[in-house]
Amino acid sequence: MKPTHPGNLPSVRLTAGMYALSKLSAAGLTFTLLGLLALAAPPAASGWLASPAYNVYAYALTVSLLADGLLRLTGTGPRAVIMVIYAIAGFGAGLWLAHDQGSGWAASAFPGIAVLLLFRLTQLAGERLPALLPVFALFVPLLCLRLL
């Protein structure tokens, strides 16, 4: 058996930090896209567009962490399985949002699926372009909050 040199092992802190940065970047990009949709929506928008920042960071980010935990426990399967788990998580996030805001479940649960799938796609985009991670994790959300 060949001994492993400590320099060859990935740092747990670095791995966890990149995961957190990836999640925050996905939340920032999702928030940016939902914020742009909210600008085009009627003023009395409800559900996910009512308060995009709060809804993305409170509901979508939390539920995506739970979906990732479930994926980790079950083992990473094909992409279809990952998307199905994220769709189910999105439905759950929408139900949670509807419960907290007192709105109809269908008006929040089905768009929740789209929001969580968008969240997953933005996370994949951030992983492919790592130079954009700090931009969407920190700067763009702060700029959007300042403008909105």
3-state SS track over the chain: CCCCCHHHCCCHHHHHHHHHHHHHHHHHHHHHHHHHHHHHCCCCCCHHHCCHHHHHHHHHHHHHHHHHHHHHHHCCCCHHHHHHHHHHHHHHHHHHHHHHHCCCHHHHHHHHHHHHHHHHHHHHHHHHCHHHHHHHHHHHHHHHHHHC
Residue-level pLDDT, tens digit, the chain, 148 residues: 455 565 666 788 888 888 888 999 999 999 888 888 888 877 666 787 888 888 888 899 999 999 999 998 887 778 888 899 999 999 999 998 888 887 788 888 899 999 999 999 999 988 888 888 888 888 887 887 776 5
